[in-house]
Chains A and B, each alone.
Chain A
Amino acid sequence: MTAAIECLHAHKSFREPADGEDRANHRGRGLASLRVLDLVAPRKVRVDAVKDVSFQVKKGEIFGILGPNGSGKSTLIRLIATLLTPDSGTVTVFGQDVVCDRLAVRRCINRVSVEAAFFKRLSALENLEYAARLYGLDAREGKRRAEDILERLGFLHKKMTVPLENLSRGMQQKVAIARALMTAPVALLLDEPTTGLDPVSKREVQDFVLEVRETHDTTVILTTHDMQEAERLCDRIAVIHGGEFVALDTPQNLKARFADGDGRVPTLEAVFFRLTGSNVDDWMREQGE
């Protein structure tokens, strides 16, 4: 059976300004390595964001990607979302290549990003009407679907005409979810969709993701920092660290892998710390950043 989403040896790197250590190493090589250009433009180094990542997601599966900040989660999502082209390797969505069949892939997917990407002076309805038309839906049908989803997510009807800049982040995120689901995508990319939501809203969104999978057999890739959420929603979880997958299994198997001699299984959070070489202090510091 063809995988719904498949990454084969995907690699992506970016040129980024050199940090202090790189610059110091560069200076250490003496005057010969100085460039006139360094005086006006910062030296850049190539940084691998995603390194030789391979995985398959089955149709109707909820596939989680966990990783510290800057580990490559969002880059991976953006590769699948056709917003980035891989340096090497292939990424396909329902058999369509994200580089060669970009439009076909875009017809299958939608995405919710961690930032609420809206015209914030426009209302939820105005934003959704724009999205419906741009994505080729009948505006009235799009509006009806979006209203249904928003009501299901506990979004008050009277708030639909209020500019989004006057709504809480949680409300904005619910609109983002409604916008993504309005187009009935067969593959949904959720990049930290519940970050910043209160516990009730978080639970509502999680329930809705499960419901969408049950009713529409939607394939979901979910990145999150919330271990409980990952454990509740995901059929399988990949842990990414430094651009590489360091583990990929069901939540139960991941925990079982690190069971102690007495057969006691650790929490998913403890597994995460072990796999990423972090401890709680590092983790808290990263989240603070």
Chain B
Amino acid sequence: MFDKIKSSYALVQRNFNMVRRDIGWELVFIVYEVVNVLTIGFIGVNGPKETMNERVLYLVAGALLWGFLSALFHEVAESVAWERWEGTIEYSFMAPQPRGVYMFGVCMWGILYGFVRTAICLAAVTLMFRISLAGANLWAALLTLAASSLAFIGMGLAAAVLPLISPEKGSPATHIFQALVLLVSGVYYDVSVLPAWVRPFSHVSPATYTLRAARAALLEGAGLRALAPDLVMLLVLGVVLIPFGFAVFSAGERYAMRTGKLKRNG
């Protein structure tokens, strides 16, 4: 077991080295993300002063959580497309390790990377808006983030199959999927404003429960008892989506090996 975790660490170390080599681009992405979160936060500055903290926190919490979840989803879902682009997919996939070891490493990196980016954004936002987190239950918010990671890893695993089975169209399709989750999950608004026919989709998106629980923890200081229904739902989605995503990915890999698509581009 320890050996498998050590092998998974190969992915974390490799991606860390890539970030180090591309530090210029990473800075560009982080600056863009910080500016994006600040821009969204400024929308909340408009309006009555006494409720400004709540409004800004509501919007900023949405932007930060979405930043974390989309980074995690992106890292997992794009892992295959990235290997294909670099030309390393055959070498990585013929390593004598169960596929779970590879995907575990990808997920660990996704969580770490998303967490660091989100922490940088949070620091920038706190400095800019001087948000008061006095009444917030930060531990409950962090627990919500951890619970939601499982469901997003499951979704990412299922989405990672798209670049595997369709080398050219798979990667853009993951972006469409990500955009739809953004639309239905109430990142910047309450899902009640969605048209009636769209609303049912919000019930199957883990981001809906994440945002609702995290906002309750940050804005109202809600404790675990109050958040239990959303946390349980997130855990259920995680328990269902991770094996589902892995099964979809494994089936996709078998299809790619049968049809000759497990190869580099070009």
| B50 contact set on A, CB distance < 8 A | none
| A3 contact set on B, CB distance < 8 A | none
**A9 to B257 Cα, complex, angstroms:** 19
B258-A133 in contact (CB<8A): no
| B11 contact set on A, CB distance < 8 A | 134
Confirm or deny: B93 has a beta carbon within 8 angstroms of a beta carbon on chain A: yes
Confirm or deny: A218 has a beta carbon within 8 angstroms of a beta carbon on chain B: no
CB-CB nearest in chain A for B6: A133
| B9 contact set on A, CB distance < 8 A | 133
| B21 contact set on A, CB distance < 8 A | 121-122, 163
A130-B260 in contact (CB<8A): no
Which of the candidate stretches B83-91, B176-184, B210-218 sits at the interface with the other chain?
Answer: B83-91
**A132 to B95 Cα, complex, angstroms:** 10
7 residue pairs of the A-B complex, CB under 8 angstroms, read A78-B90, A84-B260, A117-B264, A119-B86, A121-B21, A126-B17, A135-B7
Partner of B87, one of A82, A118, A134, A179: A118
Interface residues on A, range: 35 or more
Q: Which 5 A-B pairs have the closest CB atoms?
A: A133-B10, A106-B96, A134-B10, A107-B96, A130-B14
Interface positions of A (Cβ within 8 A of B): 12, 14-15, 75, 78, 81-85, 103, 106-107, 109, 111, 113, 115-122, 126, 129-136, 163, 179
**A109 to B95 Cα, complex, angstroms:** 9
Partner of A14, one of B3, B7, B14, B259: B259
Partner of A83, one of B88, B254, B257: B257
A14-B260 in contact (CB<8A): yes
B88-A82 in contact (CB<8A): no
**A117 to B83 Cα, complex, angstroms:** 10
A130-B257 in contact (CB<8A): no
B94-A119 in contact (CB<8A): no
| B259 contact set on A, CB distance < 8 A | 14-15
Known contacts A14-B260, A115-B264, A119-B86; A81 and B3 CB within 8 A of each other: no
A121-B7 in contact (CB<8A): no
Partner of B93, one of A75, A83, A120: A83
Confirm or deny: B98 has a beta carbon within 8 angstroms of a beta carbon on chain A: yes
Residue-wise, chain B 245-266 has the 8 Å CB interface mask toward A (1 for contact) of 0000000001001111011100
| A121 contact set on B, CB distance < 8 A | 18, 21-22
Helix, strand, loop or mixed for chain B's interface?
helix
**A133 to B8 Cα, complex, angstroms:** 8
CB-CB nearest in chain B for A14: B260
Known contacts A130-B13, A133-B7; A84 and B257 CB within 8 A of each other: yes
| B98 contact set on A, CB distance < 8 A | 103
> Closest Cβ of chain A: how far from B124's Cβ, in Å?
28
**A135 to B91 Cα, complex, angstroms:** 10
Confirm or deny: B92 has a beta carbon within 8 angstroms of a beta carbon on chain A: yes
> Closest Cβ of chain B: how far from A129's Cβ, in Å?
7
**A164 to B9 Cα, complex, angstroms:** 22
**A116 to B257 Cα, complex, angstroms:** 21
> Closest Cβ of chain B: how far from A85's Cβ, in Å?
5
A83-B263 in contact (CB<8A): yes
Chain B contacts with A in 51-96, Cβ cutoff 8 A: 86-88, 90-96
**A136 to B86 Cα, complex, angstroms:** 22
Known contacts A119-B86, A130-B14; A106 and B94 CB within 8 A of each other: yes
Partner of B18, one of A117, A119, A133: A119
Residue-wise, chain B 94-111 has the 8 Å CB interface mask toward A (1 for contact) of 111110001000000000
A85-B258 in contact (CB<8A): yes
**A46 to B126 Cα, complex, angstroms:** 60
CB-CB nearest in chain A for B262: A83
Q: 5 more A-B contacts (CB under 8 A) besides A103-B96, A121-B18? A: A83-B257, A84-B257, A84-B258, A119-B18, A135-B97
Residue from A75, A81, A106, A119 having most chain B Cβ neighbours under 10 A = A119
**A249 to B97 Cα, complex, angstroms:** 36
| B88 contact set on A, CB distance < 8 A | 117-119
| A109 contact set on B, CB distance < 8 A | 94
CB-CB nearest in chain B for A81: B94
**A113 to B88 Cα, complex, angstroms:** 11
> Closest Cβ of chain B: how far from A14's Cβ, in Å?
5
